[in-house]
Amino acid sequence: LNHDTSGLYNSLVKMDSDTYALAYQGPGSDGYISTFTISSSTAPDTVGTVTPTAGNAQVALSWSAPSNGGSSITDYVIQYSTDNSSWSTFSDGTSTGTTATVTGLTNGQQYYFKVAAVNSVGIGSYSSSATATPMTTPSQIIISSIERTANAATLIWSAPSNGGSSI
């Protein structure tokens, strides 16, 4: 730190681990006190492996918390994509938990997910992307006709909705 020490009353005082106060006399008898912070914190490290679990029109995500860079993690940003290049941010409010469920997804569509931690310095690097395809159970089969013979029966039906996965 450098400051002008030519004045009569100059003083630099460390207030706590990151905060300093500089007191000095200005022209005439005016006095000034300035405080400033020197932070050694950085943005958080990269979030650990993201684990997706597909559900009905949603995917539950979990991950391990990264090193916080010297400042508490205040949120996680979750992004999703259908092509692993154009990303949307999932609006889940502010949370320091290491799980989230992304909702409003289309069954049968593959999605990519990535997560980054946030602290007072900024957003850390995003995790590697993880993939999942939301799905549900197939719909009920509706039999349209039954043909009976002496030793057999033939059932006729239309294929049901597959719920997002092959039957």
Residue for token pair 């549900």: 136
Closest CA to 77 of 87, 26, 67: 87
pLDDT of res. 12: 74
The DSSP bridge partners found for residue 37 are 19
Non-local CB neighbours of 102 within 8 Å, separated by 6+ positions: 58, 59, 61, 78, 80, 90, 92, 111, 113
CB 127 within 8 A of CB 114: yes
SS3 content of the chain, % helix, strand, coil (to 5): 0, 40, 60
Q: Give the angle subtended at the CA of 46 by the CAs of 90 and 86, to the nearest 5°.
A: 40
Give the containing element (helix H, strand E) for 101.
strand 99-103
Task: Count, in order, helices (H) and strands (E) of the chain.
Answer: 0, 12
- pLDDT digit string (tens) for the chain, length 167 residues: 455 555 555 777 777 777 778 777 766 666 667 777 777 789 999 999 999 999 999 999 999 999 999 999 999 999 999 999 999 999 999 999 999 999 999 999 999 999 999 999 999 999 999 999 999 777 777 888 888 888 888 888 887 777 776 77
pLDDT of res. 98: 97
Is residue 28 classed exposed, middle or buried when 0-12, 13-18 and 19+ CB atoms within 10 A define those classes?
exposed
